[in-house]
Structure 1
Amino acid sequence: MPGYKGHIAGALAATATALGGAWWLGLYKPDPKTMALMAALAVLGALFPDVDTSSKGRHLYYGVALAADAVLILREQYRYAALLGFCAILPAIGSHRGWTHTWWAGLVIPSPILIAPMMLMGVALKVLLPFYLAAVLGYYSHLLLDGEF
């Protein structure tokens, strides 16, 4: 079972392979900034399953959640801040290698990448789908490296 560095490497390798294949087939050719964002989402996805333990992924996850919640509060968007806070405590429910290490969590956890921009800003699914898939790919790379498949 790899540590956080192994999960980061696995997510980056899976993302590079998927993006390289999509580029080579002519299916998707993002600019470097978009590829970097997709790689970051894949890494976050790969680190998320271990947020229920004292890990680098946990520190990163809660750091990002704290910063995002602070921004929402400063903008007086209390409903969204409360929703983010609710979602942030969900990993604490259950044991390690519990629900965060399931195939369905790999699809559900990254879903705000699709849902929030579509509902709040009217962004098209086609624009968001590559970012969602990058997060799912990172999540699944974690599960694969942990021997969950």
Structure 2
Amino acid sequence: MPGYKAHLAGGAAVSGGALGGLLYCDIISASPLTLAALFSVALLATMFPDTDTESKGQNLFYAIMATVDVVLILNKEYEWAALLGLFAMLPALGKHRGWTHSWWAMLIVPLPLILLPMAFYHTPWEASMPFYLAAVTGYGTHLVLDALF
């Protein structure tokens, strides 16, 4: 089973390659900040399946989530901070290589990236779809690496 470094490297290679290919083929056009956000979402999703067990990947994931949560609180974005806290706790509800390592979770876990902006800001789903796809790509990379090794 690959460690967090292998998962991050695989996630970076696949997600970076996908973003580069989409840009090269003029399928997407995005600002550097949006591209960085998409890449970051993919890398976080790459680590998410292993947040259900004590590991360096879990520690890194939760350190990033805690930092984002503090920034949200400082910016008085309490609803988003609460939602992030709620979703970050979900892996604790299962055992290692349980539901977080399933293909259905790969499709369902990132859904809040589409549904929450629609609910709170009436954002069209198409605007959030790239973030959902980035998360599914990162998550899927983790599952494939675990299956191969």
Compute the TM-score of the two structures, normalised by the length of structure 1.
Answer: 0.84
| Alpha-carbon displacement from aligned partner over 1:48-106 (angstroms, at most 9, x marks no partner) | 000011123322333344445556667484x6655544433221122111100001111
For structure 1, list consecutive stretches of 5 or more residues without a partner in the other structure.
none
- Report how far residue 42 of structure 1 moved: 0.6
* Secondary structure of residue in 2 paired with 1:28: coil
| 2:102 corresponds to | 102
Q: Relative to 1, partners in 2 of residues 1:103 and 1:70: Cα closer, same or farther, differing over 3 Å?
A: same
| 2:5 corresponds to | 5
Q: Relative to 1, partners in 2 of residues 1:46 and 1:76: Cα closer, same or farther, differing over 3 Å?
A: closer
| 2:31 corresponds to | 31
Moved more, 93-102 or 16-25: 16-25
Q: What RMSD over aligned residues (CA atoms) do the two structures have, in Å?
A: 2.3
**Matched residues in 1 for 2:100 and 2:23: separation?**
31
**Matched residues in 2 for 1:120 and 1:131: separation?**
16
| 1:130 corresponds to | 130
| 2:88 corresponds to | 88
1:124 partner amino acid: P
**Matched residues in 2 for 1:48 and 1:69: separation?**
16
Compute the TM-score of the two structures, normalised by the length of structure 2.
Answer: 0.84
